[in-house]
Amino acid sequence: MNVCLRLCAALLLVGAAAVRADWHYQTGQAMGTEIIVQLWHEDPAQAELAALEVLAEMRRIDQWLSPWIDTSELYKVNQTAAQAPVPISAPLFKILDKAAYMSRLSEGAFDITFASVGYRYDYRQGKAPTDAEREALLPAIDYRLVVLDKTARTVQFIHPNVRIDLGGIAKGYAVDSAIALLAAKGIAHASVSAGGDSRILGDKRGRPWMVGIKNPRDEQQLALRLPLTDTAMSTSGDYERFFFDPVTGEREHHIINPRTGKASQGVMSATVLGPSGFDTDPLSTTVFILGAERGLALIDRLPGFDAIVIDATGQVHYSRGLAAPE
């Protein structure tokens, strides 16, 4: 009888463990956007702990890389790098070095010094810099004014008005970091998104993840749904932070063209797919600024990447590796 009871109890425990295995969801706020974590785990307590660690990691990166938090490393760089070379952490150097590479690759379309003008925009208050302010600050938008010394691990600005903002690369870096954290815990199926940036680990247990691209002019609708596995996806759109100019009626959004210091025109959204968010995030900004023709031509030269562009007329354009739906 005791043997039978023990056997039955063991079977009940195995059954309970199987029932507990499920998808777990967690949301939070960081980096100015909603963070969504989805993962499969056999243990609900461990799943919750892992998801909370992801949110903590995203908030840590926000505190570290925000240009507005006066204790962040980036804030300190912006305050002092125009006076002398500033020693920086190895992770920040890695990000700045990647940003410089993307600037060279895009011939300046991606440029973290856009903030030299961009910081004068206030999207909540609906304020843009005056033409005189923009003209005065535009010479400070040039990625070549940010000098990195790999040996000393320093950064220096060689123009007094240079400011940098990592909004076009930091969230991609962050979702990669979050997925690496989950993978180190043995999790094989997960998705982490931060606004327009997502990183997918594995598949959805035998099925692809279905990831949507927003309709740029109807936030309640999707323009497209993509089946994805083990992929990073980043979308840059003119609908996240914007206001309408009261005089011209033009949409003033946060994706600044480095050549003009104004909101980039001609595209409503640009999505890039690739192996890492650290690449897809800056590339989506690049494609948005270059426009459909030049942006997709760039993507077609990069193995392992694809892109979808919705232009200002609503027409959808695809890179060579993607087939348009019939």
b/e map of 211-225 (b: 16 or more CB within 10 Å)?
bebbbbeeeeeebbe
Q: Is the dihedral of CA 155, 163, 278, 204 positive or negative?
A: positive
Question: Cβ distance 266 to 234 under 8 Å?
Answer: no
Closest to 117 in 3D by CA, of 141, 96, 93, 145: 141
The annotation places the binding site for Mg(2+) at 168, 281, 285
DSSP state, 109? S
Residue 225 β-bridge partners: 212
Which residues lie closer than 8 Å to 149 by C-beta, 6 or more apart? 85, 155, 156
Q: Which amino acid is at 54?
A: V
> Would you list which residues are annotated within the binding site?
168, 281, 285
Q: How many CB atoms lie within 10 A of CB 28?
A: 15
User: Which one-letter DSSP state was computed for residue 140?
Assistant: G
